[in-house]
Structure 1
Amino acid sequence: MKLIGSTTSPYVRKVRVVMAEKKLDYTLVLENVWAPDTGIATINPLGKVPCLIMEGGDTIFDSRVIVEYLDALSPVGKLIPSTGRERAEIKTWEALADGVLDAAILVRLENTFEGRSQYQRSPAWIERQMSKVHVGLHTMSKGLGDKAYYGGIHPGLADIAVGCALGWLAFRFPEIDWRGQYPNLGRLHDKLMQRPSFADTQPVA
């Protein structure tokens, strides 16, 4: 399998962590979707990463779709409950973590995208998106509570998704003091960083 992505994308990192936890072999093919000569649209018509090229050449995209497919490939280290309310809860935490990232990335693009002038950037839009980030962090902390992991005593997809979101915020928005505000999220992130799957996939510029 080939994973198309970048070392800075938190969504790509989520897939890479799942690949490592599931002990699946793959090749990472780096792609800059913002480069003028990018060919990402030939793989994903939405022009986004990650994309997974499976054996046989078929392609799937969107990190949530990819990790669900990967979790079903092998019984090793099951990350998503098979059915029922537990499954819905884990997928909801993943959706929240991804939503926090969606909002934070919109803020970053609003502040840095070269296609917009300083006068075109909207402080009100930035404030709206940042409120989603802060409410999301509060909700993630409240949901984790005093538990070791979202699903109990073993890390699962919810923890991976939240951990990737926290790692990217630390990388791109170091001014957000989520460790100080939510010590339980800091403890979760520290535990995850002790795992090779997380330590080996830290975002780098």
Structure 2
Amino acid sequence: MKLIGSLTSPYTRKVRVVMAEKKLDYEFVLENVWAADTHIQDHNPLGKVPCLLMDDNGSLFDSRVIVEYLDTLSPVGRLIPQQGRDRAATKCWEAIADGVLDAAVGIVIELERKPVIEGLPASDEPIAPNWVKRQRGKITAALSSMDHSLGDQPFCMGVNFSLADIAVGCALSYLDLRMPDLNWRSLHPNLHRLHEKLQERPSFTTTKPPAA
């Protein structure tokens, strides 16, 4: 298998962490989807990473689709319950963590597209402050909800490490990378505790993104 992605994409990192936890072999292919010579649409018409190329030349895209498929490839370290309420709860954790990422990535793209640093030339359109505020509101509300739901449990789903923890861990690390001013740790001690624990796992240490 080949995984097309970038080192700073949190969605790609989620897939890489899952592959490490499942002990799956693959080739990692770096791709800059913003480059003029990108070929990502040869495999994903949406032009996004991550994208998984399988041995039969088929492709899967969207991190949630990819990780669900990967979890079926090996019984080692099952990350998603196979059925029932626990499965739905695990996927719900992933959904809220990905929602944090969607909002954060949107803010980063908006701010990069429309420079706001004093002295830089003005862009054609001003920053949309109300839109950015709304996205930050989604992030803070999601963090509060996750921190409350986690409580004093060792992991998101209780005593067992799962995809929920991987998704949350990747989201929190992305906030550190791109939105360090958010200072989420001081307001969300339960998430802070979980994040510190996750950073000790080899699957997280080996996929840590380069400094911004």
Q: In structure 1, what residue type is equivalent to 2:153?
A: K
Whole-angstrom distance in 2 between the partners of 1:113 and 1:21: 36
Post-superposition shift, 1:155?
A: 1.1
Post-superposition shift, 1:59?
A: 0.3
**1:55-87 Cα shifts (integer Å, max 9, x gaps):** 111000000000000001000000000001110
TM-score by length of structure 1 reads 0.97
Match of 1:182 in 2: 188
Whole-angstrom distance in 2 between the partners of 1:203 and 1:154: 26
Q: How many residue pairs were aligned?
A: 205
Do structure 1's residue 138 and structure 2's residue 144 form an aligned pair?
A: yes
Match of 1:162 in 2: 168
What aligned pairs does 1:16-95 form with structure 2 within 5 A after superposition?
Answer: 16-95=16-95
Unaligned runs of 5+ residues in structure 2 are 116-121
Match of 1:125 in 2: 131
Match of 1:106 in 2: 106
Equivalent residue in structure 1 for 2:155, among 146, 149, 169: 149
Identity of aligned residues (%): 60
Unaligned runs of 5+ residues in structure 1 are none
Post-superposition shift, 1:154?
A: 2.2
Q: In structure 1, what residue type is equivalent to 2:193?
A: R
CA RMSD between the two structures: 1.4
SS at match of 1:72: coil
Q: After the TM superposition, which segments of 4 or more aligned residues of structure 1 sit over 4 Å from their partners?
A: none
SS at match of 1:3: strand
Q: In structure 2, what residue type is equivalent to 1:73?
A: L
